[in-house]
């Protein structure tokens, strides 16, 4: 089961939204006496997702270099060019996991959408391939459609995604 470490300002409701899991499911698998009282550093089990430490893959995203690096057991196996968030819509720095996916989501999201454990953010394809390499999105990570399809075919839900400024 995936584990979320509570950050300052989070609530169980916000965590359930980030992971796209019903609050009732989260409450059912965690021994929380008062759902209105959680604290930074507390570990919350997230049902329906594997423990990220059991997955050999990880994704590291460099916003400055506009690169997504796929690793298997710590070894780089592929590097992809990406587009990132533009000014006022920066891609959020932090540690996330892939929580679900949607093939052919339509519109500007290209051939695949990989939801991150931060509501409204994901890794996705694009209907504008000329945007790759630029800071143009509303915070998501854009990839060429063939690249996001390849990535999605390799990494399961629960895969760690580390987004860094550099």
Which one of 140, 151, 152, 161 is the catalytic residue?
Answer: 140
Tokens of 96: 């996330």
Asked whether the beta carbons of 157 and 100 are under 8 A apart, the reply is: yes
**Angstrom distance (rounded) from CA 151 to CA 166:** 21
- HSE-CB for 139 with a 13 A CA cutoff: 13
For residue 57, give both structure tokens: 């893959």
Residue in 124, 131, 137, 159 annotated catalytic: 124
Q: Where are the beta strands (DSSP E) in the chain?
A: 2-5, 43-46, 57-62, 67-72, 75-81, 84-85, 94-103, 112-116, 122-124, 135-137, 141-142, 160-164
Catalytic residue list contains 124:
yes
Residue 4 annotated as catalytic:
no
Q: Torsions phi, psi of 114, nearest 5?
A: -110, 110
Which residues are known catalytic residues? 124, 140
């Amino acid at each position: 089961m995936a584990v979320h470490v509570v950050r300052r300002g989070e609530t169980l409701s916000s965590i359930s939204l980030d992971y796209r899991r019903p609050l009732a499911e989260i409450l059912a698998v965690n021994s929380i006496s008062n759902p209105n009282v959680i604290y930074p550093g507390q570990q919350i089990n997230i049902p329906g997702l594997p423990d990220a430490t059991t997955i050999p893959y990880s994704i590291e995203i460099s916003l400055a270099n506009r690169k997504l690096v796929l690793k298997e057991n710590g070894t780089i196996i592929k590097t992809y060019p990406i587009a990132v968030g533009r000014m006022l819509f920066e891609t959020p720095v932090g540690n996330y996991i892939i929580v679900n996916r949607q093939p052919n989501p339509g519109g500007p999201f290209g051939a695949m959408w990989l939801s991150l454990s931060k509501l409204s953010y994901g890794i996705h394809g694009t209907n504008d391939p000329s945007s790759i390499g630029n800071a143009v999105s509303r915070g998501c990570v854009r990839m060429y459609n063939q690249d996001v399809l390849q990535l999605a075919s390799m990494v399961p839900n629960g895969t760690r995604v580390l987004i860094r400024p550099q």
